Amino acid sequence: MADGVTAKTRLMQRSNLDSRAMKSYMAVIAEKGLLSSEKNGSHESYHLTGKGKDFLQTYNTLQGYLD
């Protein structure tokens, strides 16, 4: 996800969430403007928005202070 784009299945596998929990979390994250989705036929991909990338950078910085 270096480019900020990944598939739903990959996110579910990496986050260890079932599809219902994943759908719920994704809705909240998208509502906050951190993520957008794109559907191409049966394939759905997710993209970090600029706001999402800023959030992730800030989160990683804060996490570094706690380590």
Domain that holds residue 14: 5-66
CA–CA separation, 62 and 64 (whole Å): 5
The model's confidence at residue 1, banded by pLDDT at 50, 70 and 90, is low
Find, among 11, 3, 15, 12, the residue nearest to 53 by Cα. 3
CA–CA separation, 49 and 22 (whole Å): 18
The model's confidence at residue 66, banded by pLDDT at 50, 70 and 90, is very high
The whole-number pLDDT of residue 58 equals 97
pTM over 0.75: no
Q: Which amino acid is at 62?
A: L
Per-residue pLDDT averaged across 42-58, rounded?
Answer: 90
Question: For 10-47, how does the pLDDT look when each residue is reduced to its tens digit (9 = 90+)?
Answer: 888 888 888 899 889 989 999 999 999 888 888 777 88
CA–CA separation, 24 and 54 (whole Å): 22
* Total count of domains within the chain: 1
- CATH code for the domain in which residue 23 is found: 1.10.10.10
The whole-number pLDDT of residue 3 equals 64
